[in-house]
Amino acid sequence: AMHWLVKEMENRYEILKDAGAKVPPDLSLTKCRDLLRQHFEGKICLLVLDDVWNVDHANIFCQVGPRCRILITTRDAGVLTALGAHQERIDVVDERTALEILATWVQIPSETIAPEAKDVIKACGRVPLALSLAGAQIRDGWSWRQAADVLEQGRLASLDHPSGSIFHSLQASID
């Protein structure tokens, strides 16, 4: 199974609930770690901890079981260093390449792309996967402004698309 945890890490109750664990109302960090270990014992899973900024929050998940793997996304390399985690740096593309990615998905020449595409590129942080997912949504009827607004508001799950669903791809790879 895959569990994609994007909630604020401080909300231990919601995180455990999302992972499928039974959660008592009085939940300390130690109890949270114990519940996670019990819940995932003997299971095979991938936990995706998205946008982690605090080592203590990630540490809760580091002992979930020998058959579980954890993928942590962060913009703070210090978090990964403190955890002793392997770091895989994902570079962004330049603006011209970003325009070409969007144009390919929208199926138009990059020279004719709408000026609002720059807002989409900025909101995607020039990350190729985000650009591809945004481009797929625009091709299917979203306006450039709608895509930029969704991204700027941090509603990334809205980008999930059958042609390039990160959620579907990760789930299929571990099922």
- Least confident segment among 83-97, 129-143, 160-174: 160-174
In this predicted structure, the answer to whether residue 115 has a pLDDT above a threshold of 80 is yes
The two tokens of residue 171 are 């789930």
Token code pair at residue 153: 């508001």
Could you tell me which residue, 49 or 102, shows the higher pLDDT? 102
Specify whether the CB–CB gap between 113 and 86 falls below 8 A. Answer: no
Encoded tokens for 83: 């955890």
C-alpha Rg value of the chain to the nearest Å? 18
Rounded to whole angstroms, the Cα distance separating 69 from 166 reads 17
Residue type, 93: V
Above 70 in pLDDT, residue 3? no
pLDDT greater than 60 at residue 162: no
Examine the pLDDT at 73 and tell me if it is beyond 50. Answer: yes
Name which residue leads in pLDDT, 73 or 144: 144
| Residue 145 pLDDT greater than 80, yes or no | yes
Residue 172 has pLDDT above 90, yes or no: no
Q: Please report which confidence band the pLDDT of residue 46 belongs to, taking 50, 70 and 90 as the band edges.
A: confident
Q: Quickly tell me which residue has 């895989």 as its tokens.
A: 88
pLDDT of 11 over the 70 cut: no
The number of angstroms, rounded, from the C-alpha of 16 to the middle of its chain's C-alpha atoms is 18
Amino acid at residue number 173: S
